[in-house]
Structure 1
Amino acid sequence: MTAYQKVLVGIDGSKQSAMALKKAIATAKRNQAQLYLLSIVNGPASGRQSSFGFLDQSAYQQNTTAMEKLLAQKKNEAVAAGVSAVATKVLSGNAKVELSTGFVTREGIDLVVVGASGLNVVGRMIVGSTTAYVVREAPCDVMVVRTDEDNQPLAIEKASYPKM
């Protein structure tokens, strides 16, 4: 069995992605693999304006800056845990596409680590589950993290919707 060489973890600031990072760090260490921390800010690919444009360019830039800071912190966490090669990237685009085929194909990723979906049934029906899409479309192995470091079930964050 060949060891994983390039491990990608999707980071969005949720509890699920934090736990996915912990398991990705352990996997990267065990395999002496390069670890990629990727965050995708919803928007047109490469930050280009679409025909609709960004509703608020400053809000988009604030989100990008916040994710860059978060990834820098997570990179420090991975390095402190003993992963020698860690790369970070914030992209503009669609998380489903980048985590399944876009970034994965461009970088030759051989393992994607993602947290289980935090959406409820209605949310998954409306926007779909990024995790389910990645599992279905990725050309490489996908690890879906549902448990904590002790393999105990992880309390899933649910999106809350206003009462009508």
Structure 2
Amino acid sequence: MTANYNKILVPMDGSKESEAALVRAIELANDAGESGVLSILNVIDTRAFQNVASFDDTMVEAVSDETRKSLEKYKQQALDAGVKNVDYLIEYGSPKTLIAKEVPNEVSADIIVIGATGLNAVERLVIGSVTEFVTRTAKVDVLVVRG
């Protein structure tokens, strides 16, 4: 018996792995038909801004604008592939906690489709990967996609 995944969450960070995860998430959403909902997520890690001496709101706005453009592109990719219900979210904070716990609750996700590795190699070496944390702590199924 296969599980029916109607509400699919896919975190995106611009890496090739996350783009492969988006392709797989689109397939799952299409498999769900009219009840399929694809939520595309990007988490802006505000901790990265804490160490910048000249940090101000314009920096966050610039990053948010670029993120919004990328998410619009990903949303259009899903729509072009036939997914009827697509939305996107931009969150601010710790990617690990937001992806594993908070956002899946917000969107009532049935599954998280995530790339095996992301863009942040330093964090992966120092404190462990986001994907590893998500697979260990998420309350919903997690599909790890290799690029």
Into which bin does the TM-score normalised by the smaller protein fall?
A: 0.7 to 0.9
TM-score normalized by the length of structure 2: 0.86
For the residues of structure 1 that align with 2:40 and 2:123, how far apart are their CA atoms?
25
Q: Which has the higher helix share?
A: 2
Equivalent of 1:37 in 29, 32, 40: 40
Structure 1 residues 63 and 138: alpha-carbon distance in aligned structure 2, compared to 1, 3 A threshold: same
- Corresponding residue for 2:5? 4
Residues 52-91 of structure 1 mapped to structure 2, 5 A cutoff: 55-91=55-91
State the shift of 1:76 in Å: 0.6
State the shift of 1:22 in Å: 0.5
State the shift of 1:59 in Å: 1.7
Amino acid paired to 2:64: T
Residues 1-164 of structure 1 mapped to structure 2, 5 A cutoff: 1-32=2-33, 33-43=36-46, 55-118=55-118, 123-146=123-146, 154=147
Amino acid paired to 2:91: L
Gaps of 5+ in 1: 45-49, 147-153, 155-164
For the residues of structure 2 that align with 1:54 and 1:34, how far apart are their CA atoms?
40
State the identity as a percent: 32
For the residues of structure 1 that align with 2:101 and 2:84, how far apart are their CA atoms?
25
8 Å contact kept, 2:39–2:107: no
State the superposition RMSD in angstroms.
2.4
Amino acid paired to 1:23: R
Larger RCO, structures 1/2 (Cα 8 Å, 6+ apart): 2
Q: How many residues align?
A: 141
Name the larger-Rg structure: 1
State the shift of 1:2 in Å: 4.5
What stretches of structure 1 move > 3 A for 4+ residues in a row?
none
Structure 1 residues 54 and 126: alpha-carbon distance in aligned structure 2, compared to 1, 3 A threshold: farther
Amino acid paired to 1:36: S
